[in-house]
Amino acid sequence: MNQHMRKVLTIIMLSSLLLVSCGRKSGSGGASVRDFPQVQVPAVVGGQEEAMEYLTLHYWDAFTAGEGNWLCDSLHIAGVEATALEAEVGKYTTLLSMLPLETARKDVRAFCSRLEQAQRKDNGSNIFDGTLKMVSRYLYDPNSPVRNEDIYGALALSLSESDCVGPDERERFAREAELCSRNAVGTVAADFSFICRDGREMNLHSVKAPLTLLFFSNPGCPACAEISRTLTDDPKVNSLLGDGTLAVVSIYIDEEIDEWMAHTGDWPAQWTVGYDPAMVIRESELYVVRAIPSLYLLDSQKRVIMKDAVAEKLVQWLQSYGNQ
């Protein structure tokens, strides 16, 4: 576990110690409000990795198991203030992002099951809809710093089979689960052809390098320009580019080709810069690009290492490359 992960875990565990109470207070109409009930890591759980896994798996146990006449309105989810619950969702999804992918998928499915059980016990509660809406936003919103389609896909698949959602929602969740499964971490990224800024035709799988950074970008995009500066200013990334370990492939997937051509000089000379002439990527959703920029990191066999990665996390991974 790296230093950043240790710091995050320490903060979360200290928060748990400071907020151990599950106070019951009177709300309107006789309904009760409460603090979010924190999980306690048993002393027998040793090591930070084990503690993190225990925290994540049991994060929602007390919240979903508690029985009572909890206040459910626009400001409270099963008795807990919505703002306080969102803070817990932020901690929970941060923990999920630090776990091995299969462990995180298992935990998020267990989370869904606990919410279903709580909703069935009290059909008038907003615990299922209110909590899931927050967790879904953190994991699936393209602008979320902890977005993760591979984890959200497992949650969406569970929801597509849940009797706690209506048929239209089940269909939507099934569609989202299928989209999230495309170019998933560990699978071979879909190949496609593109036209380079010098007029050559290439395809993604013809790029030869131990690492390939696939960068979906737009001309004149401030966020894209910021990522470009971050990459070019980082000594380790420059070293990886210089010795051929890393290849950057920047692809434009929309239709304003003249505009794209006018900005091709914005990208570093050592990058491969191209556009999708048939717009296959966008129209067939070969890659589900829900927001620009979008970053994929691939290995030498074009297997996905990171999908729709947050730029900061991707650069941290590259900085540690060779030190693992």
Beta partners for residue 192, in sequence order: none
Q: pLDDT-derived band of residue 25, with 50, 70 and 90 as boundaries?
A: low
Q: Which residue has the higher pLDDT, 19 or 159?
A: 159
Asked if CATH classification 3.40.50.300 holds for the domain at 193-319, the reply, yes or no, is no
> Would you state the pLDDT for residue 67?
75
pLDDT above 80 for 253: yes
77-134: per-residue pLDDT in tens? 999 999 999 999 999 999 999 999 999 999 999 999 999 999 999 999 999 999 999 9
Stretch 291-297: mean pLDDT: 97
Across the chain, what does the average pLDDT equal? Answer: 91
> Would you state the pLDDT for residue 6?
52
Q: Which residues contact 57 (CB under 8 A, 6 or more apart)?
A: 107, 110
> Would you state the pLDDT for residue 20?
38
Collapsing DSSP to helix, strand or coil, 218 comes out as coil
Stretch 60-66: mean pLDDT: 91
Q: Are 131 and 77 in contact (CB under 8 A)?
A: yes
Instruction: Give percent of the chain above pLDDT 70.
Output: 90
Q: What's the token pair of residue 178?
A: 């299928």
Give me the amino acid identity at 262. Answer: A
Cα(39)–Cα(1) distance, integer angstroms: 22
Beta partners for residue 24, in sequence order: 34
Q: What is the pTM of this model?
A: 0.87
pLDDT above 90 for 68: no
Instruction: Give percent of the chain above pLDDT 90.
Output: 85
Q: pLDDT-derived band of residue 13, with 50, 70 and 90 as boundaries?
A: very low
* Among 101, 260, 63, 281, CA closest to 191: 281
Q: Which residue has the higher pLDDT, 4 or 322?
A: 322
> Would you state the pLDDT for residue 322?
82
Q: Are 70 and 79 in contact (CB under 8 A)?
A: yes
Q: Where are the domains of the chain?
A: 8-180, 193-319
> Would you state the pLDDT for residue 285?
95
> Would you state the pLDDT for residue 29?
60
Handedness of CA 123, 176, 90, 114 (dihedral sign): positive
262-288: per-residue pLDDT in tens? 999 999 999 999 999 999 999 999 999
Q: Categorise residue 279: left if φ over 0, alpha if ψ from -120 to 50, beta otherwise.
A: left
Question: With the CA atoms of 302, 251, 272 and 269 taken in that order, what torsion angle do they form, in degrees rounded to the nearest 10?
Answer: -140
Q: pLDDT-derived band of residue 27, with 50, 70 and 90 as boundaries?
A: low
